[in-house]
C-alpha cells in the first residue's frame, strides 16, 4: 500500500497532510479514551507491541511492487482484534514512520498519504465491528464470517485509498487505470490469507486465556463488551 514516489507531486501533496492530520487527531482521541479506561501503561505496552509488529510486517515479510503501489501483509484487523483500535492505529503510524526513517527515506514525502491509507480503514472496521459483533461476544469467539468481513473491509479500504491517491495524482489515463486495477487484483491474495491469520491468532489467544490477558491486550479479546 506504499504510494510510489512521483504519483502525487507539487501542491497536490498538501491534501495528504490534511488527511493525515485528521486521521492522527482521531487516533489520539482513541488513545485518550484508552488511557482513561485502561491506563497509560497499558496503551504504551500495546503501542510498543503493535509498532514492532508493523515494522516487521513492512520490512521483513514479503512485499511486492504492483502497479501504483506495493502489496504488503499488513494484518490491520489482527492488530485491531488483539490490541484494540488506539494501539493498532499508533503502531501502524509509528511502524511506518520507523521504516521510512531507517530503511526507505524515499517514502517519507508520501508518509501522509500512506498513513491515511492505513488508518482510515482501521477506523472503519472499528465501526463495523460494533455492528457485526454482538456485545456479549469476545473477540476470541469470532466466527470465520465475522473475521472475513473485518479483514475484507480493511483491505477494501486500503485499495480504495490507493486508487484515490493514484487518480488524484495521475488522473484517469488508461495506463494509470490499468496500474490501479492490477494493484487491486493482487490484493485478493491478502484478502484470502488475513482472515485465516486472524482466526489462528485468536485461537491461540483463546488457549492462553488467563496468561495472555491484562495490560498487553484489549479487554475485549477475552471478555464481552
Question: Chain-wide mean pLDDT for the chain?
Answer: 91
Tell me the per-residue pLDDT of 33-63, one tens digit each, with 9 for 90 and over: 999 999 999 999 999 999 999 999 998 888 8
More reliable by pLDDT, 214 or 156: 156
pLDDT at 212: 65
Mean pLDDT of 98-119: 94
pLDDT at 33: 97
Is 184 a residue whose pLDDT tops 70? yes
pLDDT at 191: 78
Q: How far apart are CA 94 and CA 135, in angstroms?
A: 30
**pTM metric for this prediction:** 0.94
Give buried/exposed letters for 83-102 (b at 16+ CB in 10 A, else e): bbbbbbbbbbbbbbbbbbee
Domain ranges of the chain: 10-221
The class of domain 10-221 in CATH terms is mainly alpha
Q: 78 with 197: CB under 8 angstroms?
A: yes
Amino acid at each position: 500500500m506504499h504510494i510510489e514516489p512521483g504519483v502525487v507531486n507539487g501542491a497536490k501533496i498538501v491534501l495528504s497532510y490534511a488527511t493525515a492530520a485528521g486521521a492522527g487527531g482521531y487516533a489520539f482521541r482513541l488513545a485518550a479514551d484508552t488511557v482513561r479506561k485502561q491506563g497509560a501503561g497499558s496503551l504504551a505496552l500495546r503501542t510498543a507491541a503493535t509498532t514492532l509488529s508493523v515494522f516487521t510486517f513492512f520490512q521483513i515479510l514479503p512485499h511486492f511492487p504492483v502497479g501504483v503501489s506495493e502489496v504488503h501483509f499488513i494484518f490491520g484487523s489482527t492488530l485491531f482484534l488483539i490490541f484494540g483500535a488506539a494501539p493498532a492505529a499508533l503502531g501502524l503510524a509509528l511502524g511506518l514512520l520507523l521504516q521510512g526513517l531507517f530503511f526507505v527515506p524515499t517514502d517519507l514525502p508520501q508518509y501522509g498519504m500512506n498513513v491515511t491509507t492505513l488508518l482510515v480503514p482501521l477506523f472503519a472496521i472499528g465501526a463495523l465491528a460494533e455492528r457485526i459483533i454482538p456485545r456479549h461476544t469476545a473477540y476470541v469467539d469470532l466466527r470465520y464470517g465475522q473475521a472475513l468481513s473485518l479483514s475484507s473491509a480493511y483491505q477494501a479500504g486500503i485499495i480504495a485509498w490507493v486508487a484515490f491517491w493514484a487518480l488524484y495524482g495521475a488522473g484517469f489515463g488508461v495506463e494509470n487505470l490499468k496500474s490501479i486495477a492490477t494493484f487491486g487484483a493482487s490484493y485478493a491474495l491478502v484478502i484470502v490469507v488475513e482472515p485465516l491469520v486472524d482466526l489462528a491468532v485468536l485461537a491461540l489467544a483463546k488457549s492462553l486465556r488467563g496468561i495472555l490477558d491484562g495490560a498487553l491486550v484489549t479487554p475485549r479479546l477475552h471478555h464481552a463488551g
